[in-house]
Amino acid sequence: MINRRLLAASAVFLLALLLPAFISGYGIRILNLALISAIAVIGLNFAFGYAGLITLAQAGFVGCGAYITAILSTTLGLSPWLSIPAAMVGAGVIAVVIGLPMLRLKGHYLALATLGFNVSFVIVATNWKSLMGGTDGISGIPALALPGWSLGTDHRYYYVVWAALAVATWCAWRIRNSHIGLAMIAVRDDEIATGAASVGVTRIKVQAFGLSAVYAGLAGALFAHMTNFVAPDDFALGHSIIYLAMLIIGGEGSILGAIAGAVIVTFMPELMRDLGTAYLIVFGGLMLLILIFLPKGLLSLTGIVARRLKALSR
Partner 1 sequence: MSATILAIDGLSKNFGGVHAVQSVSLAIPAGRVFSVIGPNGAGKTTLINVLTGILPSSGGKVQFEDRDITDAPAHVVASAGMVRTFQNGRLFQRLTVMENVLVGAHHLLPQSVWSAIAGGTAARRMGEIRERAAVLLATLGLTGDTDRLVGSLPYGRQRMVEIARALVSKPKLLLLDEPAAGLNSSEVERLRGILEELRTQGLTLVLVEHNMGLVMRVADRIAVISFGEKIAEGSPAEVRADPKVLEAYLGHGYRHAEG
Partner 2 sequence: MSQQFIQLVVSGLAVGAVYALVGLAFIMVNEATGVVNFATGQMVAIGCFLSVSTGIQMGLPLGPAYALALVAMALFGIVFYAVVFRPLQDRPVVTVIIGTVMIGIVIQNSALMTWGSVPFRPRSPFGRQVVDVFGAAISAHALFVIAVAFLMIGLLYGFIYRTAIGARMRAVAQDRDAARLMGISVDRMFVLTWVIAGLLTGAAGILVGPMWFADVNMGDPIALKAFAAIIIGGFSSVPGAIVGGILVGLAEMLGAAYISSAYKDGLVFLVMILFLLVRPQGIFGERIGQRA
d(CA 182, CA 161): 28
- Minimum distance of partner 2 from residue 238's CB (angstroms): 8
Nearer to partner 2, 135 or 178 (CB): 135
CB 116 within 8 A of CB 231: no
245 touches, from partner 2, partner 1, none (C-beta below 5 to 8 Å by class): partner 2
- Minimum distance of partner 1 from residue 256's CB (angstroms): 16
- Minimum distance of partner 1 from residue 126's CB (angstroms): 33
Interface residues toward partner 1, by CB under 8 A: 171, 174-175, 178-183, 185-186, 188-190, 192-201, 203, 207, 210-211, 253
306 touches, from partner 2, partner 1, none (C-beta below 5 to 8 Å by class): none
Dihedral over Cα of 91, 92, 97, 101: its sign: positive
Give the count of beta carbons closer than 10 Å to the beta carbon of residue 104. Answer: 12
Nearer to partner 2, 80 or 133 (CB): 133
- Minimum distance of partner 1 from residue 188's CB (angstroms): 8
Nearer to partner 1, 204 or 237 (CB): 204
Interface residues toward partner 2, by CB under 8 A: 48, 54, 101-102, 105, 108-109, 111-113, 115-117, 119-120, 123-124, 126-127, 237, 241, 244-245, 248-249, 277-278, 280-281, 283-285, 287-288, 291-292, 295
Nearer to partner 1, 228 or 300 (CB): 300
Nearer to partner 2, 39 or 244 (CB): 244
CB 92 within 8 A of CB 210: yes
Single-letter amino acid code for the residue at 136: D
153 touches, from partner 1, partner 2, none (C-beta below 5 to 8 Å by class): none
